[in-house]
Structure 1
Amino acid sequence: MGNTKTVFKYFTIVQQEQEERFLSKMHAKGWKFENVNLLGFYHFSRCTPEEVSYKLDYNQEGLKNKNDYFQMFSDCGWEHITDFVGYSYFRKSGKADEEDIFNDAESKFDLQKRVYTGRVMPLLIIYFCILFPQLLRTSFGVSTTSIKMDNIFANIFTVLNVIYLVMFSLFIFQWHKHEKNVHSDSKAYLAKYIVLYSLIILGFVSTGLIYYHSHKSTYEIKDTDGVYTVDADTLNKSLSKTYELKKGDVIDFNIKMDKGFLHIDISPEDKKSIFFADYKNSKHDNFTIEEDGTYNFKISGRHLKSKIDVKIK
């Protein structure tokens, strides 16, 4: 077996303690931590299995004065290993639950404040200035590309929004866990967490409502006297109508658009489309059939308010 090993592992900014335990367990198995990269690959070298405590510190001020910063830890028996995205990695012989850089509640809470300032604040700025506005735009706006791409982007930003909210929830929970050992008797402390947890709940509820309303459809279908009519107050889905047609038949459709995006697709059964078009304005259009067969006429809408009349001539 080789003397080096690479392990893929992903930890979020709220999983510092889990990361520390992971590195200690690897050392106990005979693999000493060397470094980690942005892709989540942890690099180890073979060593004698032993109990070693790994700890992470996030201290941007300390890194500005590296010599003094690392010497302070060295004087306490901690070996500096590497630095990664603002975190400094240290280890020291001894059981993981007995050796710690932060020996009191106040110092542990100070670490959380440094992480909040250096890592969480930029994420909050990204969330409120980019991610949430993009969620609203892609969920309720209409682009000039296609319904499919609009839906893809709306779903992507919905998922990203949920991921960020989960991450913020975990960080607030971790912050709460450490601060309650310092300021638990403060009324301001209690009020702050009532507000923070309420905001997180509001974020999840808002995301759910945005998703629901951006996918909701209200429409009426009539199929009388040879005319297939879709009268949509809001259409955010696809509707299909199957026809048995002969060569020379004309599919005639009249579109009265109020708002939104409409896509019409005509395809023979189990074959590729022979006609497709996008509409953002009222229009009268038609398509002539060139071969006998079964044809599928599909209407797809995004925030569509329109009336479409389809008939065969």
Structure 2
Amino acid sequence: MTGYASAQHGASVEGGQVPQASSRLGLEIRAVNSRFLDLSFRLPDELRALEPALRSLLTARLKRGKVEVRAAIDSNDNQALSTPSATQLQRLVNLQDSIQAWLPKARELSVADALRLCSGSSGPANDWSEIAPALAEQAVTELLAARAREGERLAVMLLDRIKQLRELAKTATPLVPLLVEQQRQKFLERWKEAMALSEGTASPEVAQDRALTEATAFAIRIDVAEEVTRLGSHLDEIERLLKKGGDIGKRLDFLIQELHREANTLGSKSATLELTRISVDMKVLIEQMREQVQNIE
């Protein structure tokens, strides 16, 4: 299911005798619908080593969805930058010369690099190694709460579709006996016409028996009682799962497939436009349910 959650943590970083800047760790989790769990991370270099721990946390608490985790370490640049001392700059030059002696292709430090290293406004990844997982836990909890609220809305929609499917099944059930009786009368009329053409050479009893046999075969072909019964059973199970809650997504997937199968069979047995319309209406409702069920964990 879709969802969004964010969490922030601010920490004051001091250099020398006065605070130089304020750094803040911000973490966002975005989730969109997907049948499977698909995780992606956009982390700064300082937090790259924490990706396995974050992945383990999300895998343990999420089952479905295309989930993107973004994190950023921001520095408050509103305060005036401190001027690096000559000692700090000299040390950076010495370190750069030593590194380039061993790595000639290493790039030279920029002004931004020098200011950052001298001010200490961006700490190493270890500064956030304990904060980031706790922050992710907070964000995941908020995400699950948001998805739970969406799940409640989806449950209301699914229960409404279940009610409509029950009404359609209820409408279809009495149509079959009426169709059988109408067809029986048609068969009898056809055999009476055949009797008239045969000028009495055929037995009326034989003709009537043949008509009733044809009507019985017709009734068997169009009987949808079994399909309607199974459809009702599947609807009962879906309703039970929705009220129970928990990890029910995959079971709902299977039940929706079975609903679609029964609606198709009912349509294939249709002998009138009315039954065909009912079958089509059922498949439209089931398709609406299928699209939403794929988003439920």
- Pairwise TM-score range, normalised by the shorter structure: under 0.3
Q: Which has the higher strand share?
A: 1
TM-score for the superposition, normalised by structure 1: 0.25
| Structure showing greater relative contact order (alpha-carbon pairs closer than 8 Å, 6 or more residues apart) | 2
TM-score for the superposition, normalised by structure 2: 0.26
